[in-house]
Amino acid sequence: MTLSHKARVQRAIRHQPIDRLPTQINYTGKMATRLATELGVPVGDLPRRLDNHLLRVDLTYPARVSEDGVASFDWWGAGFDTREEGYFVCVSPLQETPDLDAFPWPDPNDPGLLDAARRLISADSGEHFVVPNFGWALFERAWSLRGMVEFFMDMAGNPGYAAALLDRIADIQVVLAQRFVELGVDGGYFGDDYGGQVNMLMSPAMWRTLIKPRLARMFAPFRAAGLPILMHTDGRVEQILPDLVEIGLTVYNPVQPEVADFGWLRSTFGTRLAYYGGISTQSTMPFGTPDDVRAAVRKAVTELAPDGTGLLIAPSHRMMSDVPLANVEALLAAFAELDEEAR
pLDDT of residue 340: 87
Q: What is the model's pLDDT at position 342?
A: 82
Cα separation of 258 and 336, whole Å? 25
Cis peptide before 213 (omega within 30 of 0): no
For residue 67, what pLDDT is reported? 96
Rg (CA), the chain: 20
Asked if pLDDT for residue 1 goes beyond 80, the answer is: no
pLDDT for the residue 111: 97
Q: How confident is the model at residue 153 (pLDDT cuts 50, 70, 90)?
A: very high
Cα–Cα distance measured from residue 179 to residue 117, given in angstroms and rounded to the nearest whole number:
11
For the residues 69-74, what does the mean pLDDT come to? 98
Mean pLDDT confidence for 82-103? 96
pLDDT (tens digit, 9 = 90+) per residue, 189-205? 999 999 999 999 999 99
- Residue 102 pLDDT level (bands cut at 50, 70, 90): very high
The CA-to-CA distance between both ends of the chain, in Å, stands at 10
- The mean pLDDT value for 146-159 works out to 98
What pLDDT is attached to residue 341? 87
Q: Is the pLDDT of residue 130 over 80?
A: yes
pLDDT over 90 at 278, yes or no:
yes
| Section 93-104 average pLDDT | 97
Cα–Cα distance measured from residue 184 to residue 172, given in angstroms and rounded to the nearest whole number: 19
Least confidently predicted of 56-65, 136-145, 241-250, 334-343: 334-343
pLDDT of residue 343: 76
pTM summary value: 0.97
Query: Residues 93-120: what's their mean pLDDT?
Result: 98
Q: Which residue has the higher pLDDT, 1 or 40?
A: 40
pLDDT at 317: 95
Output phi, psi for 289, to 5 deg.
-95, 165
Query: What is the bridge-based pairing of β-strands 64-65 and 71-73?
Result: antiparallel
**Chain mean pLDDT for the chain:** 97
pLDDT classification of 110: cutoffs 50, 70, 90: very high
Q: Quick one: pLDDT at residue 260?
A: 96
pLDDT of residue 206: 98
**What is the average pLDDT across 90-116?**
98
Cβ-in-10-Å burial (0-12, 13-18, 19+) of 328 comes to buried
Read off the pLDDT of each residue in 298-327 and give the average, rounded to a whole number.
Answer: 97
pLDDT tens digits for range 203-253: 999 999 999 999 999 999 999 999 999 999 999 999 999 999 999 999 999
Among residues 235, 225, 333, 314, the alpha carbon closest in space to that of 274 is found at 314
Average the pLDDT over 281-294 and give the result. 98
